[in-house]
Chain A
Amino acid sequence: MVGPAPRSIWYDSLKRLIRNRAAVMGAIILIILTGIAIFAPLIAPHPFDEGNFLHNYAAPSREFPLGADFLGRDLLSRLIYGTRISLTIGFLGAFFAFSIGLTYGTISGYFGGWIDGFLMRLVDILYAFPSLLFIILLMVTFKAGLGATVIRNPFVQTIAKLDTAFGGMLLIVVGISLTSWVGMARLTRGMALSLRESDFVHAAQALGARDIRVIWYHVVPNLIGPLLVRVTLAIPQFIATEAFLSFIGLGANPPTPSWGIMIAEGFKAMRSHPHLAIYPGLALAIVMFAFNFLGDGLRDAFDPRFN
């Protein structure tokens, strides 16, 4: 007697995900946006950083489909290049939050004892620090070109220079990564703690498997699903954080086409040219929308108990 082939939990989850129309829509939007980001130089009608004062605040036309900004730069092209910024921040933030959180939480939860005690005290302290405030403080300390202050410390200077070389993006990624892994680590640790006591882990240990093998083959695969959900739902926050920082002048440096900067710049001409602030805002909302839809679908797919 041969039963039906055993289906993996991943297969079931994927099937549930595909049935969720909103999640599929989110995924499709994200795929399209990723394509736009990769092929931006081919799609964009103009360079994102070349202005022409003849076209300052040009109205939408054949040459400038969405108009031009206060320096005569094509808005559509800047929006297109802006997907690169937002998606990069989103994915990099997710990568670091996921990998650091997974490693830290697994070690803490699996080994327990004084290791756990020590690692979790550290996390508790970091957790209490409001993350947005922390990122802002980081920016104030390291960002070049703020106020009239001269930075003399060579370490700070080096970082500030590196950051400038990356268009102001380096510190944003660092700030987001430094703060976002903490929640992931807590979640991972809790799950690892209960997995440690599960029968299949005990069985593996009884068979003489080394810790590293037990962790890699028996603990980690069970952590990835829930963590993936959590990380996907956190991506919109990373993207919003970047836009927020750029908006208040602590993020990307002009002329980097960050949507946050574009909103701030466009907003100065809100009365006469409201579309300059509204279009980048809509772009931002669409990306966050897509990630939220996908994350929501992933949660329903991985945790059928939820609905």
Chain B
Amino acid sequence: MLVFIAKRLLALVPVLIVISAITFLLMHSIPGSPFDQEEKPLPPEIRRNLEAFYNLNEPLYKQYLRYMGNALRGDLGPSYMQKNRSVNDIIVTHFPTSLKLGLFALVVAIIIGLPMGIVSALRQNTGWDYVAMFFAIAGVSVPAMTLGPLLIWGFALKLGVLPVARWGTWQHAVLPAFTLGIGHAAIIARLTRASMLQVIKEDYIRTARAKGLREQRIMIKHALRNALIPVITIIGPLFAALITGSMVVEQIFAIPGLGRFFVDSVGSRDYPVIMGTTLLFALLLVLSNLAVDISYSWIDPRIRLDES
């Protein structure tokens, strides 16, 4: 098991190198520096000074090596646009907010998605099932930029029970968490249903019934436990997707998270911020994929990792 994790972690290194190299190349392949301006161009000597200060006058590969060296030591460099702020600063300030929002949304997704999936599996092909599955398709079809304004209009403007936007108290978190979580609730519901239906057909369920166990006990102890395996394993990537997916939601609800900041830095071509945030997001996604593989074998000992 430890060997497997170590191996997989090692395999991540080339992936991250490729991602960082592509990102770096895309960011820096445009000749001319971020300090070129259409109006009021900087005097050439000042520009040269600036470029020298940020090491932009070096060959590309040197810049990349320098950047990666610093990144490995935990220094993602200065922001070009925000004076006196480092990329580290920005991430440390804004990431926790995104993380919190992602966690809330995940809770929403599980609380809504799991029971919906279970009920529709137990009552397969009944009205319950159809309604639940209709909402499951609706959930993946309504993007955050549709749901966000709708929820704001209904709960904040019409009913006035929740704040329109911004971040602070728990009331602020309700609408964004729902906006972000509903789509994932739908995915969880569909997966739970499919996996429950499969498990119910297994031999050990028939055995349990033959033993004369009560249906409720069979469903909870025997069926649900096994049905949850695939569900738990997608929570990892879901969580990563929640964090990156927060770009829209943070924009809509004016939440000072990293997603919104990323979008802003894209607009102003703040390369180091884009680079650092991309690396962080990529690392999260890749790690969550690894977590899936590990949790598979941890939850279900029948799946062996070391083979193949």
Cβ A284 vs Cβ B36 within 8 A: no
A281 to B153, CA, bound (A): 13
Cβ B266 vs Cβ A129 within 8 A: no
Cβ B26 vs Cβ A289 within 8 A: no
A270 touches which one: B31, B149, B268, B274 (CB < 8 A)? B149
Cβ B278 vs Cβ A156 within 8 A: no
Query: Closest CB of chain B to A253's CB: distance in Å?
Result: 14
Query: Closest CB of chain B to A130's CB: distance in Å?
Result: 5
B19 touches which one: A128, A141, A247 (CB < 8 A)? A128
**From residue 120 to 146 of chain B, which have CB atoms closer than 8 A to chain A?**
134, 137-138, 140-143, 145-146
Instruction: Collect the chain A residues with CB atoms within 8 Å of residue B251's CB.
Output: 247-248
A162 to B268, CA, bound (A): 22
Cβ A150 vs Cβ B267 within 8 A: no
Q: Chain B: interface residue count, which band?
A: 35 or more
* Nearest opposing residue in chain B for A286, CB measure: B141
Cβ B138 vs Cβ A289 within 8 A: yes
Within 8 Å of chain A (Cβ to Cβ): is B110?
Answer: no
* Nearest opposing residue in chain B for A134, CB measure: B22
A244 touches which one: B15, B32, B142, B145 (CB < 8 A)? B145
Render A131-144 as a binary contact track against B, CB cut-off 8 A, 1 for contact: 01110111111000
Cβ A285 vs Cβ B142 within 8 A: yes
Cβ A128 vs Cβ B286 within 8 A: yes
Cβ A247 vs Cβ B18 within 8 A: no
Within 8 Å of chain A (Cβ to Cβ): is B164?
Answer: yes
Cβ B141 vs Cβ A149 within 8 A: no
A260 to B274, CA, bound (A): 22
A130 touches which one: B30, B244, B274 (CB < 8 A)? B244
A247 to B45, CA, bound (A): 39
Query: Closest CB of chain B to A305's CB: distance in Å?
Result: 11
Within 8 Å of chain B (Cβ to Cβ): is A3?
Answer: no
Cβ B145 vs Cβ A260 within 8 A: yes
Render B189-226 as a binary contact track against A, CB cut-off 8 A, 1 for contact: 00000000000000000000000000000000000000
Instruction: Collect the chain A residues with CB atoms within 8 Å of residue B145's CB.
Output: 243-244, 247, 260, 263-264, 281, 284
**From residue 196 to 242 of chain A, which have CB atoms closer than 8 A to chain B?**
236, 240
Within 8 Å of chain B (Cβ to Cβ): is A147?
Answer: yes
Instruction: Collect the chain A residues with CB atoms within 8 Å of residue B63's CB.
Output: none
A140 touches which one: B38, B147, B269, B282 (CB < 8 A)? B269
A211 to B164, CA, bound (A): 62
**From residue 233 to 279 of chain A, which have CB atoms closer than 8 A to chain B?**
236, 240, 243-244, 247-250, 260, 263-264, 266-267, 270-271, 274, 277-278
Render B139-166 as a binary contact track against A, CB cut-off 8 A, 1 for contact: 0111101110110110001000000100
* Nearest opposing residue in chain B for A263, CB measure: B145
A293 to B164, CA, bound (A): 32
* Nearest opposing residue in chain B for A129, CB measure: B19
Query: Closest CB of chain A to B177's CB: distance in Å?
Result: 19
Instruction: Collect the chain B residues with CB atoms within 8 Å of residue A148's CB.
Output: 36-39
A133 touches which one: B37, B252, B282 (CB < 8 A)? B282
A133 to B286, CA, bound (A): 13
Q: Given the interface contacts A137-B27, A248-B248, does A150 sit within 8 Å of B143 by beta carbon?
A: no
- B contact residues vs A (CB 8 Å cutoff): 15, 18-19, 22-23, 26-27, 29-32, 34, 36-39, 134, 137-138, 140-143, 145-147, 149-150, 152-153, 157, 164, 244, 247-248, 251-252, 263, 266-269, 274, 278, 281-282, 285-286
4 new A-B contacts at CB < 8 Å, known A130-B244, A137-B26, A274-B157:
A149-B37, A248-B247, A281-B149, A282-B146
